Amino acid sequence: MVKKIHTFLKTKKAKILFWVCLSLSLLTGAFFVVRETQVLPQSAINILQDVQLPQKGDKVLVISHHQDDETLGAAGYIQRAIENEADVFLILVTNGNHRKLEVKRTGEFENVTQFLGIPKNNITYLNLPDYGLSKMNVATIKKEIVTRMLAIDPQFIIYPTSKDSHPDHHVIGMIVETSLDIFPNVKSYAYLVHHSGFPQPEGLHKNDYILPPLSMLSLDTTWEALRLTKTEQEDKCKAILMYKTQISNPLPVLKNLMLAFCRQNEIFLTPKY
């Protein structure tokens, strides 16, 4: 076979065909790499719609997979909701024990949620295994979550998008998205934490905005933004730093990811109605 290919490539036409195919393959690969890792430019913040905010007496349910996702994805929204005298509820899905740090991570979570102003009685712990949801029966997890969603009966639901590349975030997002028909009058907002090249640039850039990845733009959903006040941004940054088990992780990529959410806004994915 190798000999036949070598013989074939001796002709001029074959060489041209080979290099054309190779170039097209490289260009196609480069296109998909760029598409998956690039986000909208900073100026695009001006074309994103503003999020709908809860008002006095509204119920907001935030679903967090890990102890920190509620802060990375929606600390600003939580602060604004509480300022508007809405009732904020939170479901923490996993026990945070992936690195045997359950006690420390839960302690940090309790300190952060208290700092953000979420009442203890409004927090539900499901205590499911961290990094183990993809191995569980989805129907069992769905029953746990939907039961609590029905009990709270919120007007707003904030949750991790099913398009998140973390397998457990994906499971939770899928469960919520396939349950939204039970709540036809709920405004749903999905936040993104894990995605190739997101947020850009990496690390701490307080003066920048978070913008969505190009690969997650679609015709059936829209991205909306919440621009944070200076105080909201500062408090979000403080809350992120309170997760010391994450910030002090020896892998710099995790610290850079955490700090990258300390910016002037938050973004949420919502269906087009």
DSSP string over the chain: -HHHHHHHTTSHHHHHHHHHHHHHHHHHHHHHHHHHH-B--GGGGGGSEEPP---TT-EEEEEESSTTHHHHHHHHHHHHHHHTTPEEEEEEEE---TTS-HHHHHHHHHHHHHHHT--GGGEEEEEEPTT-GGGS-HHHHHHHHHHHHHHH--SEEEEE-TT-SSHHHHHHHHHHHTTGGG-TT-EEEEE----TT-SSS-S--TTS----BGGG--SSEEEEEEEPPHHHHHHHHHHHHT-HHHHT-SSHHHHHHHHTT-SSEEEEEEE--
pLDDT digits (tens), the chain, 273 positions: 545 555 555 666 655 554 444 344 433 333 333 344 478 899 999 999 999 999 999 999 999 999 999 999 999 999 999 999 999 999 999 999 988 999 999 999 999 999 999 999 999 999 999 988 988 999 999 999 999 999 999 999 999 999 999 999 999 999 999 999 999 999 999 999 999 999 999 999 999 999 999 999 988 899 999 999 999 999 999 999 999 999 998 888 999 999 999 999 999 999 986
pLDDT at 39: 83
pLDDT at 98: 87
